[in-house]
Structure 1
Amino acid sequence: MSVNLPAYNKVMAELAPHKASLVAVSKVKPASDIQALYDAGQRIFGENYVQELQEKHPILPADIEWHFIGHLQSNKVKYIAPFVSMIHAVDSLRLLEEIDKQAAKHHRIIRCLLQVHIAEEETKFGLDESELREVLTQWKAQADKFQHIRIAGFMGMATNTENMEQVRAEFRRLKALQTQLKATFAPGDEQLTELSIGMSGDYTIALEEGSTMVRIGSMLFGARS
């Protein structure tokens, strides 16, 4: 077993004052490692690959809250729609529509996060600010159509850099944007409240800048081979 329980306990203690939740990123890790962390009290696990998630879901405890955190293609949604709790990286209206359609087939509501491009790298997925506003405008205008999704909030990945002030500035920008969009598109309800920012290398900064959800893998499970 390669689960680092002292690191898990440390992270949980750091999250507590911020009332933030931990998504334990378990991609490419065996079910036995997930079970070990589950036994320590963890319930939310994040996976990046549809096929791997399909394989793990039936052999692990039924009350695990599975989050899909990787880039998701529309044609793969149907495979995880029966059981996934949250999809983190929604980067188009088309994907949102497909999630709603597949969730409806299973009489479920799936929580979604819109992925916002905040990093300098071109390779990272996500919506820019104008695309984000357009998706939210369409979602609001067609509210009766989107009965089987909830836009819980936003997700972002900072630039992969040693410059932590840059990382902080990117997180801070996204938090400001979230506050603004929440007031415009979802005042007074529980939607657009989540902010999924922060990973193993920058989660303490993310918490200081308003993260409600951190995605941590290597710190808990060790490096991926």
Structure 2
Amino acid sequence: MQGIKDKIQEIKSALPANVTLVAVSKTKPISDIQEAYNAGQRVFGENKIQEMVEKYDELPKDIQWHMIGHLQRNKVKYMAHFVDLIHGVDSFKTLKEIDKQAKKHDRVINCLLQAHIAEEDTKFGLSFNEIKSILASDEFKELSNVKIVGLMGMATFTDDKNQIQKEFSSLHSLYTGLAKHYTSFKILSMGMSRDYNLAIECGSNMVRIGSSIFGSRNYLT
């Protein structure tokens, strides 16, 4: 049976050079993350701030921590001193709170605006028009401690590859259009364990992979 190190190396060797692997370590123990770290992985994604803070305190400080889950504004302050990238910014209020907390630590925090591309109502995210409105607003331009470096999206959980491809392609089209006007746009975060190869075909340059590295999760722990 393949260990974490072998899985990391196998996935990384198959990824195009321009694609960043975010190892999604949510619910996984320190020992698993350390094993991935020892295999050369440095970018890890968590979806709960408290869990990420605990892992940050215990693990090597050259790890880049990405917040990939839905963000509760009242908890931003706990990660503002170290988080490397926030994937799921889905409101301007959240963006303002990140800016406020980043200022306290004299940091500029990189963020992705989360676009709603799935048919499922359960997925968070902004409409394409909302994203354009935020970026064009004077209020956004006044925020000096956040930097929008791209977009993130989650496709519908379905076996219909045509639908997934359509959703990813629509986000890629929005991203490329905005990147012509916003030089800070560098990242298009699309794709997870079940659909990351298709996401890459559609233009993703950052994939969030958890179960294919660490195995299935036990949400009871």
TM range, smaller chain? over 0.9
Q: Which amino acid aligns with 1:95?
A: T
Report the Cα distance in structure 2 between the residues aligned to 1:62 and 1:54, rounded to whole angstroms.
12
- Structure 1 equivalent of residue 7 of structure 2: 7
C-alpha displacement at 1:143, in angstroms?
A: 5.8
User: 2:201 aligns to what?
Assistant: 208
Aligned pairs for 1:1-225 (under 5 A) are 3-17=3-17, 19-138=18-137, 141-142=138-139, 145-184=142-181, 186=182, 189=183, 191-225=184-218
Q: Which structure 2 residue ranges, 5 or more long, are not aligned?
A: none
Query: Secondary structure in 2 aligned to 1:37?
Result: helix
Q: 2:156 corresponds to which letter in structure 1?
A: T
* Residue 13 of structure 1, CA deviation: 1.4
Contact 1:91–1:125, Cα closer than 8 Å, also in 2: yes
Matched letter for residue 151 of structure 1? I
User: Could you tell me how far 1:145 is from its partner in structure 2?
Assistant: 2.2
Identity of aligned residues (%): 52
Q: Provide the C-alpha distance between the structure 1 equivalents of 2:112 and 2:202, rounded to a whole number of angstroms.
A: 18
Partner letter of residue 115 of structure 1? Q
**Are the equivalent residues in 2 in contact too, given 1:3–1:222 (CA < 8 A)?**
no
Cα displacement (A) at 1:134 = 1.3
For the aligned residue pairs, the C-alpha RMSD in angstroms reads 1.3
Q: Distance in 2 between matches of 1:86 and 1:179?
A: 20
Find the residue that maps to 1:16 and give its secondary structure: coil
Taking the aligned partners of 2:14 and 2:79, their CA distance within structure 1 comes to 31
- TM-score normalised over the length of structure 1: 0.93
State how far apart, in whole Å, the 2-side matches of 1:144 and 1:128 are: 20
1:115-134 CA distance string (max 9 Å, x none):
00000001100001111111
How many equivalent pairs are there? 217
Which whole-Å CA distance do the structure 1 matches of 2:96 and 2:217 have between them?
A: 33
User: Residue type of the partner of 2:205?
Assistant: T
Alpha carbons 1:7, 1:219 under 8 Å: kept: yes
- Tell me, in whole angstroms, the C-alpha distance in 1 between the residues paired with 2:82 and 2:173: 32
Q: What is the CA distance between 1:176 and its match in structure 2?
A: 0.4
